[in-house]
Amino acid sequence: MKISFPSWLSFRLSSARLRSSAAKGFCILALASLFCTTIALAQQPSAGKNQGSDTATKHPPQAKSKQEFADYNTAAAITGGEAAEKAASDFAAKYPQSELRVYLYSRAMHEYQNENKPEKMLVVGRKILKLDPDNTIALVLTATVLADSMKDSDPDHDQKMVEIKVNADHALETVDSAFVAPPQATPEQIADYKGTLRSMAHSALGIMELKNGDDAGAEKDLKTAADLNKTQPDPYIWYHLALAQDHQKKYAEALASVDQALHYTGSNPDLGKLAAGERERLAKLAGSSVPQPK
């Protein structure tokens, strides 16, 4: 049974935010809607038909029997993070070798994202990585959740730093080979998608470095993150970049960055207030009389 993607909509990244009372008032970074959370039957060959045995390259997931595929469809129809995670675990227990396990856990992670539960996303993301260590979505999202929640008082602070760096770096290393693109996706769309994933990986590294006082390193990674995400500019990246530059007394550069954050805040009042306050401070330090952008 061969599985592929029903439409480009299941491949797109959409902007979603989680908020928390993170240390120093840092806002939670973007968490993308999951790639491969909605997958459908592209063609239905006879149960157990071999679709290819090349294990050196990624291939669309396959059900080994009609029953496995039917059980997968039943589990995939379940909504709600907790219920979806339980369905994924039950399916994995029944079919411990199934290639479809990751897709059900990815769906559960997506459901938890919609419910604004980053801690649950982290738990499920780690389950995915045990099954598929190269899963770019899980690598990026676990690194992002860890970076957003990291505080100096964390008893596992150093362990979090290691996990963030390992996951973000591995995502950057494997993003070109870790997934099978939908057949209808254009090269431009695929490049845009990969650029957004790379942007999120660098953003997670930048936030980690910012929270640990490595302002120069944070500035470098956050600049890279901003440059990689031109299609859907992320105001959180620009805001944190402004903080990294502010800490280094690069007030003119920080002012330009916070103006970019304000330009893209849209209807997010929380980030708008933070960015407006930072801009007022920077404008005084830089001796600027430039009016605040609308």
Sorting pLDDT into bands at 50, 70 and 90, what band is 40?
very low
In the chain, what percentage of residues exceed pLDDT 70? 76
Q: Give a yes or no: residue 64 inside a domain.
A: yes
pLDDT for residue 41 is more than 60:
no
pLDDT for residue 63 is more than 80:
yes
Sorting pLDDT into bands at 50, 70 and 90, what band is 189?
confident
Q: Give a yes or no: residue 213 inside a domain.
A: no
CATH number assigned to the domain comprising residue 171? 1.25.40
Q: Which domain holds residue 123?
A: 2-178
Both ends of the chain: CA-CA distance in Å? 53
Could you report the per-residue pLDDT of 193-243, keeping only the tens digit for each?
A: 889 999 999 999 999 999 999 999 999 999 999 999 888 889 999 999 999
Tell me the mean pLDDT in the region 60-77. Answer: 91
Q: Give a yes or no: residue 117 inside a domain.
A: yes
pLDDT for residue 43 is more than 80:
no
Greater confidence (223 vs 28) lies with 223
Greater confidence (35 vs 289) lies with 289
* Chain position carrying tokens 């959180």: 236
Q: Give a yes or no: residue 204 inside a domain.
A: no
DSSP string, 167-199: HHHHHHHHTTTSSPPPTT--HHHHHHHHHHHHH
Residue 75's alpha-carbon distances to 59, 117, 155, in angstroms, are: 22, 21, 37
Residue from 106, 23, 119 nearest 72 by CA: 106
Q: Give a yes or no: residue 106 inside a domain.
A: yes
Structural domain total, the chain? 1
pLDDT of residue 32: 36
Q: Give a yes or no: residue 228 inside a domain.
A: no
pLDDT of residue 23: 27
Tell me the mean pLDDT in the region 104-130. Answer: 95
Sorting pLDDT into bands at 50, 70 and 90, what band is 261?
very high
pLDDT for residue 278 is more than 90:
yes
Q: Give a yes or no: residue 153 inside a domain.
A: yes
**Which residues contact residue 83 at a Cβ distance below 8 angstroms, ignoring those fewer than 6 apart?**
none
Could you report the per-residue pLDDT of 125-174, keeping only the tens digit for each?
A: 999 999 999 999 999 999 999 999 999 899 999 999 999 999 999 999 99
Least confident of 12-26, 112-126, 171-185, 217-231: 12-26
Residue from 142, 108, 134 nearest 31 by CA: 142
Backbone φ, ψ for residue 16 (5° rounding): -140, 145
- Rounded to the nearest angstrom, the gap between the alpha carbon of residue 96 and the centroid of all alpha carbons in its chain is 27
Q: Give a yes or no: residue 138 inside a domain.
A: yes
Tell me the mean pLDDT in the region 57-78. Answer: 86
Q: How is residue 16 written in tokens? A: 């979603």
Tell me the mean pLDDT in the region 268-279. Answer: 91
Q: What is the largest CA-CA distance in the chain?
A: 72
Sorting pLDDT into bands at 50, 70 and 90, what band is 186?
confident
pLDDT for residue 88 is more than 70:
yes
Total count of residues recorded for the chain: 294
